[in-house]
Structure 1
C-alpha cells in the first residue's frame, strides 16, 4: 500500500512515514484496493499529526528529548511558545500579563536553561540567562526540542535542559508554500480587540538548487491587569518611627507591619513585529551554503494607576487610633491618621529588539561530513518608567486578618475622602529615562563527522566553538523636584507642605472599575474606584523630552555595569549501536574554558541620601572597579537506549553539566533602597553551577500513535548561588530632615552549597481511534511531574531555606477531537506552590501559590486552502497569588481571559 502524506515541512521523511503509517493502521474501514497498483491516499494533518511527529522524534532520539512540531507550515499548536512548552512533561512556565514568558524545566529556575535558535545561543533583551518568549512569534516557528539530557555537541549551559527553537530552514523546503494568518485578539479585562497577522512564503528555484524563505508577523494586544500588591512585613521600630503602634504608652517596641497595601491596574498595549528570512544554495550535490536572519521588535506601552497606602510612613506621632497584634508580632489591624497615601501614576514604555544573523555551510564526501557556522546576535531594551509622585495624608485602616491569603481590607476612616482632589500634593517626577540594556553574542563553530562501516561505533563527531557574550546596563534616572516642576506648569509651590510640593488635583485622574479583581471571591471588599496621578497630563504642558533636556539625568553609576564572557570549547562524541540496533547511544566529552571580565563601580555607603518625596535613594560617590577571572570545566556525557522489544524502550543517561551565573549576579553593582531598607550587591567571584545528573526512562509505544512513558531523574547540583543576608546600620541623610541611622538588610549572592534535585515524570497520550465513529476522532494527553529539592543554607549556621522555583507537583490534562474538517482541544495545566524569594525585602519571603489554568482551541477547515480558528485562553479566569512565609498576601494578579478568532489561507 502506498501512502501520500502531507505534513509540516519540519518533519523528516522518516518521521512522516512512521507517523502516517501509525495513523493509517488506526484508521477504521480502510478502502479496499481494487488492483495492486491502486493508491490509497491518506491525508495526515493537524494536531494529531503534530503529536505523531513528536512521538516518532522521541522514539528515534538517542538522548532523552521531547518535541513539539508545527501542525503545518506557519501553524503552531499554541499562539505562545512558552504555553506550548508547558504541555511537555516536566516543563513549567511563568507568565507576564497573562502571557507565557519564561520556562522552567524540572523545577529549576529559567536561568538554568540553555535556549538556542537552530542550535545557536540567543541573546536576551532583559540580559538574563533566561529567555523571554514573548518576543518570538509562534507562527514563524516550526518546532521545539527539549533536551533533558545533554550530548557533547550541544552548547553547554543547560543544567536544567536545553530548548532548541527551530525555524523553517532552507533544507526543509520541498515546494512552493504561501500561508497567511489573520486573527482578532479580544482581551476580556480591557474589552478591546486588536489584530494579528502573519505571512510566510517558501519556495525552491533554479532547478531546486536555491531555497528561499520569508516570513513576517505582526500582533497588537491590549493590556488590562488588575493587581493587589504588598511589599512584605517591615520590622518597624516604635522609637525610629516615633509612633506607639500598640498604644501601651511607650515607644519601645518593634512590630511587623504590612508595608504598603496597594491596588493597581496596568493598562495599555503590547506590539510585536517579527521577520524571519533564510536562503540556501546547493552549490554541488555534496556542498551547500545558507544564511538566516530573525528580527523582532517588541514594544510595551503601558500605564500603571496605583492606590497605595504606606503604613510605615505616618506623619502624625499620635496618629495610631487602633491596632491588633498577633502572636508573631504582626500588626494584623492598624488604623491611623496621617498615613502616606501614595497614588502614583507611572507610564512604562520599553522597546525590545532582537536581531540574530547566521551563515554556514556543509560539505560531505563519502563517510566525511564537515560543517561550519558563524553567527552574531544582539538584543537591546530601552526603557522609560517615570512616575508623578503624589501624596495625601489619609485616615485609613488595614486589616490582614479577614482573609490572610487575600488582599488586605483597606477602609477609609474619620471622614477622609480619597476621591477629593484637594487632598493631594505633587512631590515631583522621577524614574528611569531611556535606560539601555544590551546583550550581544558572537559564535563560531566547526564540526567534523566520520561514519564508520560495519562497526559497533557508527560515527565519530568532533568540533570546536568560540563564543563571546557582552552584557551592559547603563542606569540613568530623571528627577524633577516639585520646586523645579511647579513654575513650568504654572502651579504655586509651597516649601512647607510635605517638604516642598504643589497642588496635584489638576494632574489626578479618576479610575472606576466594574470588575476590579473580578477573579477574587473572598471576604474582603475590593475598592472599585480611586484617584491616581497621570504624568501624561503633565507632559501635555511640558513634554518629557523637554524635561529630560532641561534637567540633566542622574547617572546611577553604582548600578551601571558590564560583563563580558569569552568561551572556547571543544568536544568529541562517538555514536554506537550493536548489529541489530537494539542497543544504541552516544558518549562524549566537552571541555569548556570561560574567561570573564566584570566592570562597574564600588559605592561609598557613608554618603547615601534619601528623598522621601519620591522614595528615591542616591549613592553619590563611587569608584570604578574591574574583576577578571577564568575557569575550565570538563563535561562528560553518556546516553544509552535499549530496545527491549519493538514497542518498548529503556534509556539511561549520565552527565556532568554546567550553568553559568545570571549576568547581573556577576556584576560589581550595588542597589540601595532606603524605602524598603535593602542593599543588593552583585558578586563577580561566584562560581558556576555544576551538576552530576542521572536519568532513567522507559517508553511503551503500545498502540499506533500512542505512548506511555515514565522517567526518574537525579541532579546533584554544586555551587548553588543563593542570597546571603546580613544587617548593616548606616547614617542616611534625609533630604526632608536630619541625618538618621537606618538598618539595612544587605543581600549578596554567594555559592551556598549543594542541593540534590530528584523526581519522576509520567506521560500518556493516545488517539482513541478504536472507538466507533464519530468518537474515533477523540484523543487524550496526560502527564505528571514530581520534583523534590533539598533545602539550602546560604552560609554556615543559617537555617536551610527552600530552593526557589521548585513546584513539587505539576500536571497537564488535554482532551482533543479531530475528525474531518473539525478539530478542538481543551487543556488544563496545574503547577504547585513554589518559592520566588526566600528573603525578599524584609526577610519574610515571597511564594507563589498553586496555579491552574484551563484553555480551549478549535479549528474548522472549509477546504484544503481555508481554515477558521477559535481559541479561549484562561477560561478559568485564574489569578496569580503570592504570599509570604506567614501566609500573608504579597500579591493578587487578575489578567482575565483572551479570545482569538482567526482565518488561515494556505496555497
Structure 2
C-alpha cells in the first residue's frame, strides 16, 4: 500500500468552491491495479487546510476562510469568521458582527463581491452588511489585501470575495440538513420579542450527464433574537454654577431593546461543461432580511441651568459630588421623563444573478463573458410613541438622585413609571405652533441596482517570463435612490389620554439603571387604531426634503495584465503586472431648500466625469520549499460615500443681515453634499514573508504602507446665491459660506501583521489532536485636512487587533475557543432620525466557544452522517460602549447584549 500526504496545492484544488469540506484526496495510481489509500481531511482541519492552500497558491497577498462542512462556516456568521483573519475586524450591531474593516480602514474603504461580482448594499452607502448573507450558503471567502488588474472591485482597504459552491468541482453527490436552536441568556426584556430562535438549512449538490452538468441548491432560514440593556447619555456640558465648572450629565435615555432578525436565503448554481472547451455557470443568490426591534425606556432631560435675578448662575442640581472634573453624583429636581414605546422594522430584499460563459478557442486562447445583475430594496419604518406625567410641560416633575457608573448612571426617584398616560410631558412642539408632538415617524426607502458586463480574453504564451496575457473591459451601471419621509404624531384628543386596555402589555423593567417597571403597550397597534393625527414633517421643515436623493454611476474599465512565471536561480517566481484605466461618469438628483420666509423647494442636479489610471504589480518568490516572499505595489481607489455625493443642499437666508458687506456676516449660508466629489486615491506597498510548516501550520509576517493622495473632508467653500430671488430689501452680498464635502489633503496609513498557526503534532505526538492560531495587527495613520491642521482619527481604525483560537479535533470530537480583541476606534452608529453618527468605541474582547461530535467516528452505523454541536457566543458578556470628545469619561452609549447559546445537529444523507 502506498502512503500519501496531500500537498497544499491538491488540497486547494479539492476545496475550490466546496461548501462541504468533506475533502477526500487520493494519489494518482501509478498503475491501473495499484491500491490507493484515501486520506480524508474534514472538519476544522479541512477548513484550515483549504484556506491555507488558497493563501499559499495566490500571487497576491490574501487571506481566506473555508467551510468545515456543507452549510457550516467555522463561526456563526461570515462577519465573525472574517474578523478572525489577520488585519481584519468587525463592528457589532445588536450584538452581532455586522460590517468589516480591513487594515484599519472603515467599511467605506472596503468592497465586497459575490463570485467575483460587485454587490449592492442595503444601507445608504457602499459598505456591505455581511449579516445579510447567510453563512450556510457561502462555501468560502477570499480577502484580497493587494489587488491585481483583473480585480474589478478594487478598494484601498481590500476586497472580500464571497464564493458559493461549484458543483462540478465538488465532484460528488451531497444532501445535508442543518438545524440549531438559539437562546439569549438575558430574560425576555420586551414582551413582544422572544429571546429564543432557530437556524436551519438544506443543501443539495449533484452531477448529471456523465459529470458535465452540476447542480447545487441551498435554502436557509433563521430567526435570531437579541436582547439589549442600553444607556444613552445626551452629553456633558459644564456645570457653570459649580466651582471649577465640572462636566455634568445633561440628559439620559435608558432603554431595553429586543430585536428579532428573520432571514431566508436561497442559493442555486447550474454548471455545464459539455466538453473541454465550453464552460457555463449560472448562479442565483437571494435573501429576505427582516430586522425588527422593540425599544422601551425613558428619555429624561436632567441638567438645567439659568441666571437668577441677581445675575448668578444656578441650576436644578443639588448635593453634587465632584471627582476628577466631573459630577459623579447628586440630585436633579423638576425632572419629567418622556416614556418611550418605540418600534422599528427594517425589511430588505437582495437578489444577485450571474452568468459566466467561457470558450477555449484554441490551446492558447480563451474568451469569456460575464453578465450580472443585483438589486437591493430596503424599507425602514421607525415609530416613536410618547407617554408620561401630564402633557406639554404642565407637570412640575420629580426629584431624581443619580450616581455615575461604568455603564452610565444609576437613578432613584419616587416617580411610578407605570402610572403614566399617553402624551408628551415636555413642551416639544410641532413647528409653526401646531401644538404638542406626541410621537414621530421616520420612513426610509432605499433602492440599489447594479448591472455589469465583462468581456475578457486570455492568451497563453507558454514560454518566457510572461506566461499569459489577459485583457478585457468591464462595464457597470449603478443607481441608488433614497426616499425619506417623516411625520409628527399628535393625539387627536389633544390631552393626556389613558392607553386603551387592548393595547396594554406586561410592563418592562428598567431595574438595570435603578428604575422599576414602566408603562408598556403595543405602539404599532395603537398607531393603527387611528388615535393620532399625522402631520407630514416636510410641510413644517422643508429641509427634510434634502434627505431624499439619487446617485448614479457608469463605470468603464479596460484592463490588461501579464501573468509572470520564471526562476531566479533555483527559486520559482510568479506574479502579475497590469493596468486598469477607470472611466467614471457620476451624477446625482436631489432637492435644494431655502430657509427663509418662503421655504422654497427646488430640484437640483449635478455630476462629473473623470479618468483614473491604476497600475499594479504582484510578485511571489519561493525562497525555499514552502517559503514565500511576496511584494505588492498598486495604485487604488475607493469611491466616496453616496450620502456625500448627493446633489441635495440646504440654504439659509438671514434677512436681518441684508446690508452686511463682510462675508463672515453674509445673510447667505448653506450645507449639503457634493455631486462632483472624486474618490479617495492611494498608492499602497505591501511586503510579506510566509513559511508553511504543514498543511495547517504556518508563520507569516507582513508590513504595509498606504500613501493617501487625498481624503474627503467637510469644508467651507464660498457659494454663489445670486440665483435665489429675495423679497423686500435686496442683499448687498450674493455670496456666502457653504459647508460641503470636498477632496482635501491626504496622509498615510502603515501597519504590520504577524500570524502563527500551529498543529500540535509539530511539537509532540501527544498533541496531535490540538491546534492553535494567533495573529496580531498594528495600524497607525496620519491624515490632515491641510498642512496646518491636526491629524484626524480615521473611522474604523483600531491601533491594535488580536485574534487567538485553540482547538482540538480527534476521534470525532471537536472543540474550539476563540477570542478577538480590538482597541478603541471611531465607529459609525445610528443617530437622530436614523442619520449617521460617528463616535469613539471602547476597546472590546469577544470570546466564543464550541464543542461538537461527529457520530461517523462512533462506529454506530445507524448514526453515520449525524453530527451535533453546542456553541456559546460572547461568553464574557462584553458590552458595546462609546464615548465622545475623545474623553473616555464621557460615556455616550452602553449596551449589554448577554450571551447567546446554540445547540444544533447536522445530518448528511
Normalising TM by the smaller chain, what interval?
A: 0.7 to 0.9
Distance 1:432 1:301 in 2: 15
1:238-637 to 2 correspondence within 5 Å? 246=241, 258-311=249-302, 320-322=316-318, 324=320, 335-364=331-360, 365-392=362-389, 394-397=397-400, 402-403=404-405, 405-412=406-413, 415-421=414-420, 425=424, 427-428=436-437, 430-432=439-441, 434-482=443-491, 485-486=492-493, 493-494=494-495, 502=497, 511-513=507-509, 526-531=514-519, 534-536=522-524, 538-539=526-527, 541-542=529-530, 556-579=544-567, 582-606=572-596, 621-637=600-616
CA contact (8 A) 1:10 1:70 kept: no
Structure 1 counterpart of 2:852: 859
Distance 2:563 2:424 in 1: 72
What is the CA deviation profile of residues 477-503 of structure 1, one whole-angstrom value per residue up to 9, with x for unaligned ones?
233322xx32xxxxxx34xxxxxx545
CA contact (8 A) 1:118 1:167 kept: yes
Distance 1:247 1:59 in 2: 64
Structure 1 counterpart of 2:634: 655
Structure 2 counterpart of 1:241: none
CA contact (8 A) 2:773 2:804 kept: yes
Match of 1:141 among 112, 120, 138: 138
CA contact (8 A) 2:508 2:520 kept: no
SS in structure 2 at match of 1:538? helix
CA contact (8 A) 1:382 1:437 kept: yes
SS in structure 2 at match of 1:590? strand
Measured at CA, do residues 116 and 14 of structure 1 come closer, stay the same or move farther in structure 2, by a change above 3 Å? closer
Shift of the alpha carbon at 1:16? Answer: 12
Shift of the alpha carbon at 1:303? Answer: 0.9
SS in structure 1 at match of 2:846? strand
1:629-778 to 2 correspondence within 5 Å? 629-669=608-648, 681-724=672-715, 748-770=740-762, 775-778=767-770
Distance 1:233 1:748 in 2: 28
Measured at CA, do residues 747 and 826 of structure 1 come closer, stay the same or move farther in structure 2, by a change above 3 Å? farther
CA contact (8 A) 1:722 1:752 kept: yes
Distance 2:147 2:331 in 1: 58
Shift of the alpha carbon at 1:800? Answer: 3.1
Structure 2 counterpart of 1:60: 57
SS in structure 1 at match of 2:273? strand
Measured at CA, do residues 326 and 472 of structure 1 come closer, stay the same or move farther in structure 2, by a change above 3 Å? farther
Structure 2 counterpart of 1:103: 100
Measured at CA, do residues 669 and 391 of structure 1 come closer, stay the same or move farther in structure 2, by a change above 3 Å? farther
TM-score (norm 1): 0.83
SS in structure 2 at match of 1:769? helix
Distance 2:529 2:303 in 1: 34
Structure 1 counterpart of 2:657: none
Distance 1:843 1:871 in 2: 33
What is the CA deviation profile of residues 13-71 of structure 1, one whole-angstrom value per residue up to 9, with x for unaligned ones?
49899xx9x9999xxxxxxxxx9944333221011111111112111110001111111
Distance 1:880 1:679 in 2: 36
Shift of the alpha carbon at 1:533? Answer: 6.2
CA contact (8 A) 2:418 2:507 kept: no
Distance 2:868 2:623 in 1: 44
Q: Does 1:233 align with 2:236?
A: yes
Of the structure 1 ranges 817-826 and 801-810, higher mean CA displacement relative to structure 2 is found in 801-810
Q: How many residues align?
A: 824
Distance 1:398 1:843 in 2: 33
Structure 2 counterpart of 1:893: 895
Distance 2:10 2:288 in 1: 26
CA contact (8 A) 1:306 1:532 kept: no
Structure 2 counterpart of 1:202: 205
SS in structure 1 at match of 2:690? strand
CA contact (8 A) 2:8 2:53 kept: no
Match of 1:906 among 896, 899, 908: 908
CA contact (8 A) 2:336 2:398 kept: no
Distance 2:549 2:225 in 1: 34
CA contact (8 A) 1:698 1:710 kept: yes
CA contact (8 A) 2:25 2:38 kept: no
CA contact (8 A) 1:479 1:553 kept: no
Distance 1:397 1:776 in 2: 61
CA contact (8 A) 1:381 1:436 kept: yes
CA contact (8 A) 1:316 1:337 kept: no
Q: Which runs of 5+ in 2 are unaligned?
A: 27-31, 189-194, 309-313, 390-394, 426-435, 653-668, 719-736, 857-863
CA contact (8 A) 1:5 1:16 kept: no
Shift of the alpha carbon at 1:376? Answer: 0.8
What is the CA deviation profile of residues 393-439 of structure 1, one whole-angstrom value per residue up to 9, with x for unaligned ones?
53344757x44x53024343xx5444432696575554446531111
Measured at CA, do residues 103 and 725 of structure 1 come closer, stay the same or move farther in structure 2, by a change above 3 Å? farther
SS in structure 2 at match of 1:83? helix
What is the CA deviation profile of residues 282-322 of structure 1, one whole-angstrom value per residue up to 9, with x for unaligned ones?
24330122211100001112111021212367899987242
What is the CA deviation profile of residues 377-403 of structure 1, one whole-angstrom value per residue up to 9, with x for unaligned ones?
101111111111234453344757x44
SS in structure 1 at match of 2:125? coil
Shift of the alpha carbon at 1:575? Answer: 0.9
SS in structure 1 at match of 2:211? coil
CA contact (8 A) 1:304 1:345 kept: yes
What is the CA deviation profile of residues 577-622 of structure 1, one whole-angstrom value per residue up to 9, with x for unaligned ones?
11466111110001101111111111213359xxxxxxxxxxx532
CA contact (8 A) 2:15 2:170 kept: no
Of the structure 1 ranges 129-138 and 529-538, higher mean CA displacement relative to structure 2 is found in 529-538
TM-score (norm 2): 0.83
Of the structure 1 ranges 361-370 and 504-513, higher mean CA displacement relative to structure 2 is found in 504-513
SS in structure 1 at match of 2:563? strand
Distance 2:741 2:333 in 1: 40
CA contact (8 A) 2:138 2:165 kept: yes
What is the CA deviation profile of residues 181-209 of structure 1, one whole-angstrom value per residue up to 9, with x for unaligned ones?
01111112246322211011111112222
Structure 1 counterpart of 2:191: none
What is the CA deviation profile of residues 623-672 of structure 1, one whole-angstrom value per residue up to 9, with x for unaligned ones?
11100201110000001111111132111111100000111111133589
What is the CA deviation profile of residues 318-366 of structure 1, one whole-angstrom value per residue up to 9, with x for unaligned ones?
8724275979987666644333512221111120110111112001120
Distance 1:569 1:79 in 2: 37
Distance 2:75 2:489 in 1: 45
Distance 1:571 1:344 in 2: 56
CA contact (8 A) 1:683 1:748 kept: yes
Shift of the alpha carbon at 1:819? Answer: 0.6
Measured at CA, do residues 505 and 310 of structure 1 come closer, stay the same or move farther in structure 2, by a change above 3 Å? farther
